[in-house]
Amino acid sequence: MTTPMPATAFADPAQAQSLERTAAALTAHGFAVEIVEDAAAARERVKDLIPAGATVLTGASETLRLSGIDEDLNASGRYESVRARGMKLDRAKDADEIRRLLASPDVAVGSVNAVTETGALVIASASGSQLPGYAGGAAHAIWVVGAQKVVPDLGTALRRIDEYVLPLESARVQVVYGGPSAVNRVLILNAEPHPGRGTVLLLRVAIGY
């Protein structure tokens, strides 16, 4: 029987053996997986993976913000930023166009809230806007994942979201938008049926939450 992880442990980076088990399980499930040293290495790898001019959707992510990846993708001018384009559209009048932009970019880039040693990615969302691209709408999806997000199994992944991630995200959203966040939708990717479509960059260090 697996000993339940205390909530305080959800911030601790996984050890090398755990990362290797996770990478092997994800690979067996059709994901392309790379273990990288740190955020700087992940940032450079993302640049390698996305061709100039690609339409790119970034999910709201502290991992992307802290690593500089968000700025690279949305402000460098190298890519067609879905976020930048969406900001110019009217949320009411152009709702259908916004929905289509979010659902089928060339590349969707974000993070996850947990990744299991059994090879599943778990992503919670309040709005769900990034989930269609992750689930299959994007031609390619890339997830940048800090080592602290590795957990033994799905049950622990859901606990991590409720007990650790949600309070931190609610605190951030309260400052930015004036209200708490919520776990309204949860996407569980147990496998990638189109091998190579989804790339997971597993960091050896913690970043984000």
Number of H helices, E strands in the chain: 9, 10
How far, in Å, CA of 115 to CA of 161, rounded?
11
Q: What is the pLDDT of residue 86?
A: 82
Q: What is the pLDDT of residue 87?
A: 81
How far, in Å, CA of 42 to CA of 68, rounded?
10
Q: In the chain, where are the structural domains located?
A: 14-203
Give me the tens of pLDDT residue by residue for the chain, a chain 209 residues long.
455 666 678 999 999 999 999 999 999 999 999 999 999 999 999 999 999 999 999 999 999 999 999 999 999 999 999 988 888 887 788 888 888 888 999 999 999 999 999 999 999 999 999 999 999 999 999 999 999 999 999 999 999 999 999 999 999 989 988 888 999 999 999 999 998 899 999 999 999 99
Tokens matching residue 107: 């590349």
24: nearest Cα among 16, 37, 139, 193: 16
142: nearest Cα among 115, 172, 108: 108
SS3 38: coil
Q: Which CATH class is domain 14-203?
A: alpha beta
Q: Could you please report the per-residue DSSP string of 162-204?
A: IIIIHHHHHHHHHHHHSS-----EEEEE---SSTTSEEEEEES
Q: What is the pLDDT of residue 58?
A: 97
Q: What is the pLDDT of residue 196?
A: 87
Contacts of 199 (CB under 8 A, 6+ apart): 31, 32, 33, 34, 49, 140, 141, 142, 143
Q: What is the pLDDT of residue 6?
A: 67
Q: What is the pLDDT of residue 3?
A: 58
pLDDT digits (tens, 9 = 90+) for 31-77: 999 999 999 999 999 999 999 999 999 999 999 999 999 999 999 99
Q: Is the pTM of this model over 0.85?
A: yes
8 A C-beta contact, residue 146 and residue 112: no
∠ CA 9-188-33, rounded to 5°: 75
Q: What is the pLDDT of residue 2?
A: 55
Q: 77-100: b or e for each residue (b if 16 or more CB lie within 10 Å)?
A: eebbbbbeebeeeeeeeeeeebee
